[in-house]
């Protein structure tokens, strides 16, 4: 087992007070965070979001993607429900890392789409690994999820891990002129279920 629970603390946010749980992946020295709100115990499925780190979108307000808007929308939705969890995984750039993501952005500036850019750098279109979730879910005693995602691969990855995803909740937000091509590529090449509508 490479995932090790470290500690928990309170995290006050504009949407309410979350609990923040720190995990360490000893295999690659990455640190992951889970935000939770409310009582997660019991058999009732937990409203959830699996969010891969996006420094540019989450912290630097980039309009090249929809990541920051998706993270904020998930926190808001969980706060409204009073119960839920966000797995914040350190898998920047769909797993290629921040500096490689900047290289990919440079290729996109020259006309490549997000998949072509990753592949030109020698990476797969999506390098993320969701197996690290198993120990986090076990630690939090979560058995079933209502997952906020547009990505059917994420649902399949969880099902393959034996995680019961009882419902996929469409999670479209943050569309703008700067990320229109990016979103169309996610839909056309990565199979994301995007309708072009927002909540």
Q: Determine if residue 92 is labeled as part of a ligand binding site.
A: yes
DSSP string, the chain: --EEEEEEEEEEETTEEEEEEEEEETTTTEEEEEEEES---SSSPEEEEEEE--IIIIIS--SSSSHHHHHHHHHHHHHHHT-EEEEEE--HHHHT-HHHHHHHHHHHHTT--HHHHHHHTT--S-----TTHHHHHHHHT--EEEEE-S-HHHHHHHHHTT-EEEEEE-------TTTHHHHHHHHHHH-----S---
Q: Determine if residue 51 is labeled as part of a ligand binding site.
A: yes
Q: Determine if residue 52 is labeled as part of a ligand binding site.
A: yes
Q: Determine if residue 91 is labeled as part of a ligand binding site.
A: no
Q: Determine if residue 70 is labeled as part of a ligand binding site.
A: yes
Q: Determine if residue 175 is labeled as part of a ligand binding site.
A: no
Q: Determine if residue 114 is labeled as part of a ligand binding site.
A: yes
Catalytic residues: 126, 128
Binding-site entries: 49-54, 65, 67, 70, 92-94, 114, 149, 154
Binding-site entries for GTP: 49-53, 70, 92-94, 114, 149, 154
């Amino acid at each position: 087992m490479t995932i090790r629970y470290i500690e928990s603390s309170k995290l006050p946010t504009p949407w309410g007070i979350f609990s923040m749980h720190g995990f360490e992946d000893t295999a690659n020295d990455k640190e992951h965070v889970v935000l939770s709100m409310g009582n997660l115990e019991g058999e009732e499925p937990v409203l959830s979001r699996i969010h891969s780190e996006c420094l540019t979108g989450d912290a630097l307000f980039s309009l090249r993607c929809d990541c920051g808007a998706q993270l904020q929308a998930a926190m808001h939705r969980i706060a409204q429900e009073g119960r839920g969890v966000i797995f914040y995984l350190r898998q920047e750039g769909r797993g290629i890392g921040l500096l490689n993501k900047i290289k990919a952005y440079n290729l996109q500036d020259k006309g490549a789409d997000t998949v072509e850019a990753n592949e030109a750098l020698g990476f797969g279109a999506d390098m993320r690994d969701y197996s690290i979730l198993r120990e986090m879910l076990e630690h939090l005693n979560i058995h079933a999820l209502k997952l906020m995602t547009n990505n059917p691969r994420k649902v399949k990855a969880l099902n393959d891990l034996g995680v019961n995803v009882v419902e996929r909740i469409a999670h479209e937000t943050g569309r703008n002129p700067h990320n229109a091509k990016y979103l169309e590529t996610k839909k056309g090449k990565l199979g994301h279920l995007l309708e072009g509508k927002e909540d």
